[in-house]
Amino acid sequence: MEDKIEIVDSSALEYEEPQFIERPKEPVVEPVWSYSAGNTTKEGLVNCLRKELVKVQFIPDKSFEITDKTHPYWGGKANGTWDAYTVPLLRNGTYKNPLTTEEKNFLEDYMGLEPNALSVHKGENNFWENRHVFLTKYGDVLDLSTPMGFINYKILLTNTNEICPSLAQLKKTPKATYRYVLVSDNEVYSSAAEKVSTKSACWKAYGKIEEDFDSLKSVIQSITGLAVDRKSDLTFLQEQAVNLIDSNPQAFLKAATDKYLSFRVIIEKAVEKNVIERRGDYYYYMNNPLCGKDENPTITVAAKYISEPKNQEILFSIQSRLN
């Protein structure tokens, strides 16, 4: 198929349900005293708690046929059901350690527990045995300034197959087994700032090609994968471009700032005038593929090919036949 720019839009994860499902509640453990986040405390303990909220966001199964978000089985998970996560057991029979030594020592002291009460190696009355974190597709919020909020967060992080630790990780390595992603409020703010920055860059790029019919046409085609009629009005193309900036700014920015855009335009114009032959998604000039050895002459490869200094004669030949 012809090259098409595809950007994964993390906003697809942003699903809010009016209320949470009732679920088992963890007992509230009152602290013996409070520490200031990040400070070294009595006996050298360092506070691992921090003022941060982390949202646990359900990742819908895109292969599931139901697309209506109001449907009780939307996303491949029924309303009123939950997933229960515990600390995994290792092959040697001990629990995977969710806490660092520093975190364990601090929390034991903070929660008024005996030394090593949070050790994964403890025999009877092991804290981690049957310690569950219940999640529904409605999402949940963990307060990392509280002991149980922090502990539940660390429990989820041990479940690496089904819990993605961040939106950034989800974008970078979207494992098919992920069912939930942990979204920090700090990450949300950072993402919002990035969106504003991207939109600003899009408008700057748009300003450079706003009156260029061929460039707008090429950008729109590369993003949508749909052919644009040359008889289209410039105003129509401008409207389409503005819509893409709103709906898919990352894709628009990538296409509009492509350093081979002008060469892509030349190829597309040459195809319209039968100077270059298009066979499926491949491009040929005088029966020769517009690509190097071991390459396929797609529009992206062909544009790069004619831009190279060693292929200037081919470029000049194409341009002379267009004039």
Query: Max Cα separation, the chain?
Result: 86
pLDDT for position 292? 93
Residue with tokens 């949070």: 118
Across 31-95, the runs of DSSP E, i.e. the strands, are 53-58, 83-85
Tokens linked to 216: 């707008």
Residue with tokens 């749909």: 226
Across 45-89, the runs of DSSP E, i.e. the strands, are 53-58, 83-85
pLDDT for position 78? 82
Across 223-279, the runs of DSSP E, i.e. the strands, are 277-279
* Spatial CB neighbours of 22, under 8 Å, sequence gap ≥ 6: none
Q: Between helices 261-272 and 299-307, what is the axis angle to 10°?
A: 110
Q: Between helices 299-307 and 312-322, what is the axis angle to 10°?
A: 110
pTM over 0.85: no
* Spatial CB neighbours of 204, under 8 Å, sequence gap ≥ 6: none
Rounded to whole angstroms, the Cα distance separating 160 from 85 reads 11
Domain positions in the chain:
10-159, 193-322
pLDDT digit of tens for each residue in the chain (323 aa)?
A: 455 444 334 444 443 333 333 444 444 444 443 444 444 456 678 899 988 889 998 988 877 777 777 788 777 788 888 899 999 999 888 999 999 999 999 999 999 999 999 999 988 889 999 899 999 888 788 999 999 999 999 999 999 999 999 888 888 888 889 999 998 876 654 555 566 678 888 999 999 999 999 999 999 999 998 889 989 999 999 999 999 998 999 899 999 999 999 999 999 999 999 999 999 999 999 999 999 999 999 999 999 999 999 999 999 999 999 98
pLDDT for position 192? 54
Q: For residue 141, report the phi and psi dihedrals to the nearest 5 degrees.
A: -130, 130
pLDDT for position 74? 78
* Spatial CB neighbours of 270, under 8 Å, sequence gap ≥ 6: 276, 285, 318, 321, 322
